[in-house]
A and B are shown apart, each in its own frame.
Chain A
């Protein structure tokens, strides 16, 4: 006869697509982030930037090059390693701004150079980028074109030996400090899906100007810039991939960017829930820990359920992406679900903390403000629903 009492030992295996080798990296990232990032987050938020040295430090430890080949200074890992870094940075760091600044460089600006760049371009930007010596940003959004990417107006007119670029970009993470900008430009009169190209612009180019550092609701430790281009001469050698083939590059990057946002949200949710559980056990009201009140216990149960469901969907989308399977709707679904969910969970965590949650000390009000960007950045909720609806044939 089988054993009569089966008990939950609490043991949990790592959920696919992650395996044991990822756990080791996770612990390494956790140690680093806990020791060298988390203690400074509040000061960096107040300063509205984190030190540029942090890139170099992360590079030293290999975190900026996890998914790039060793010959370029990377670690020779893959997307899953990068995902571990992103999730753990969010969970242990608790700062949307720091994560945004680091990831906009390593996970958003560098991949298109790796995927579409020539060997020479790899040497010029990717190698110093992985080493944390040069900082990159991706420039797509403009004052007049956000979700509607095909509507960008920055033009790159062909001239002898290259392009003459005019226009502007906004909401560019790392835009203020970036040494190079992977920039979407119209290379035909019509622009649109078949008329966009990517040029790598460099900050020392005449006519390239950081016109503004933007102030934001959250993500304050990351710098967000508005950049203007006035007759910037860009050599042909700075064209990334094929001329007029930029839209494909944008789409390729979006899937990964959205997955990263989803994974970061999963990490952030875990942090918030751990915080809420700890507080609910510790804080007493009416003679008992508030977690012993059913209202709070159920609230936390709701939050934890949403978080686990978000994790399952995100990991599954990541698994498909990693396996090169079609995953456009799954990625859009993960992005749509997780960005809202982390905002809800952050707000509920604030509620559980009461007045303390509203003060800066606990970092929870910051988490709420940071999370609010999720349903906007990387494609708004509304754009995600359009994508999902279209893949369903509507």
Chain B
């Protein structure tokens, strides 16, 4: 008699394509995954102590991985939006949330607004070297006193003739301590809330690599996870920048940022479902090998069902992200769905990491198996790029509530 297992053929690992991906995306996936596995993954432990080396970003730039969706005239690869998702998914093989985040900040947060809003000169000065990985950028939004509430920022940029004078501080800035330049959110009119916000793109270092006058890295922050990434508190004291450092339009910075956050959130969602997939792979491998009470633990229904739940949630998060990416790439601006995708995927990544630790038992709690690191790294996703609570508010408001 046939058994149920001979009727149900395993095909989950067959790597089916989603409708949004073409063969070109799959080709990129192959080459980028190989690079991540060969050149990033082996260093995952070392970089937890040293931070990722700036040379790694230059290498990514050389290979074209920083500019996948940017036009060729600026040194990009001219790919469509889906390349960003593929990139985020491939990075999940690095075994280092910190490295992934740092690279995502460069290619999905710092450079897109320069491309969209920047003058030709700004593009030459920041976008081109940024895509090559020769200059590292940071994005300065959050302040000690204003996180989710962007309109509440207090860093000011006050016009003085042909210059602006910047004062204030920024915190939780990824790539901040090493950044060569920053896209900085400032109040050009401190009396206003949303309408007083303007974006600047400015140098943080001069040509010799010294910090520009008035700018200091006031602290390198220690964190729960993302140890491979440097996170800074940055202080600006009478930093003078030319008036043409404005990015986009004066007083429109809030809307620029709101736009910026959408693409970033979707890429973050992709990173989350891909990270969860890596965890599930580890969990399956472990459940097949580890024996207890005379059989592989995966043969116990409790664990088999737990992993089935993890896989279901993750598959659903992926479907949501892909469907939303399809909307985004087709010219919709689906704020509600992007917010849902980010909220859902980041929570699921945390749940799956926690479940994976549970399946690994004591080993999961040890550094050696890298599950505890993923657990610490992934926790940031429910805070960064908009907290769960802000996401819920955005979604609720989209229904008129």
Judge: A and B partners, yes or no. yes
- Selected from A192, A193, A281, A305, the residue in CB contact (under 8 A) with B343 is A305
Tell me which residues across on chain A come within 8 A of B284, comparing CB atoms: 392-394
A300 lies within 8 A of B19 (CB): no
Interface positions of A from 247 to 290, Cβ below 8 Å from B: 247, 251, 277, 280-281
User: Does A301 sit within 8 A of B, measured CB to CB?
Assistant: yes
Closest to B315 in A: A333
Tell me which residues across on chain B come within 8 A of A379, comparing CB atoms: none
A320 lies within 8 A of B401 (CB): no
User: Does B248 sit within 8 A of A, measured CB to CB?
Assistant: yes
B10 lies within 8 A of A392 (CB): yes
A-side binding surface: helix, strand, loop or mixed?
A: helix
Query: Nearest-CB distance from B136 to chain A (Å)?
Result: 24
User: Does B396 sit within 8 A of A, measured CB to CB?
Assistant: yes
Interface 0/1 of A22-55, CB less than 8 Å to B:
0000000000000000000000000000000000
Please choose the segment from B32-40, B168-176, B317-325 that sits at the chain A interface, where 4 or more of its residues have CB less than 8 A away: B317-325
Interface positions of A from 283 to 310, Cβ below 8 Å from B: 291-292, 294, 296-298, 300-302, 304-306, 308-310
- Selected from B3, B11, B117, B304, the residue in CB contact (under 8 A) with A385 is B304
User: Does B8 sit within 8 A of A, measured CB to CB?
Assistant: yes
Identify which of B248, B287, B322, B401 gathers the most chain A CB atoms within 10 Å of its CB. B401
A312 lies within 8 A of B8 (CB): no
User: Does B224 sit within 8 A of A, measured CB to CB?
Assistant: no
- Selected from B301, B319, B393, the residue in CB contact (under 8 A) with A297 is B393
B319 lies within 8 A of A313 (CB): yes
A180, B19: Cα distance in complex, Å = 40
Q: Given A329-B11, A385-B304 in contact, is the A12-B315 Cβ separation under 8 Å?
A: no
A15 lies within 8 A of B323 (CB): yes
Q: Given A13-B327, A251-B7 in contact, is the A386-B336 Cβ separation under 8 Å?
A: no
A328, B340: Cα distance in complex, Å = 26
- Selected from A195, A296, A309, the residue in CB contact (under 8 A) with B316 is A309
Q: Given A193-B2, A316-B319 in contact, is the A388-B312 Cβ separation under 8 Å?
A: yes
B316 lies within 8 A of A393 (CB): no
B312 lies within 8 A of A337 (CB): yes
Interface residues on B, range: 35 or more
A394 lies within 8 A of B1 (CB): no
- Selected from A7, A251, A281, A394, the residue in CB contact (under 8 A) with B307 is A394
Can you name 6 extra interface pairs (CB under 8 A) apart from A6-B255, A304-B395? A9-B332, A17-B19, A193-B7, A296-B401, A315-B319, A390-B4
Which residues in B have some Cβ–Cβ distance to A below 8 Å?
1-5, 7-14, 16, 18-19, 116-117, 119, 248-249, 252, 255-256, 259, 280, 284, 287-288, 298-299, 301, 303-305, 307-309, 311-313, 315-317, 319-320, 322-324, 326-327, 330, 332-337, 340, 343-344, 389, 391-401
27 pairs, CB–CB < 8 Å, chain A vs chain B: A4-B252, A6-B259, A11-B332, A12-B334, A15-B327, A193-B3, A251-B7, A291-B400, A294-B396, A297-B397, A298-B392, A308-B340, A311-B323, A312-B322, A312-B323, A313-B315, A326-B14, A326-B16, A328-B11, A330-B315, A333-B316, A385-B304, A386-B304, A388-B308, A389-B298, A389-B308, A394-B298
Which residues in A have some Cβ–Cβ distance to B below 8 Å?
1-2, 4-9, 11-13, 15-17, 150, 190, 192-195, 247, 251, 277, 280-281, 291-292, 294, 296-298, 300-302, 304-306, 308-313, 315-316, 319-320, 325-326, 328-330, 333, 336-337, 382, 384-394
6 tightest CB-CB pairs across the interface, nearest first?
Answer: A297-B396, A389-B304, A301-B395, A388-B308, A291-B401, A312-B319
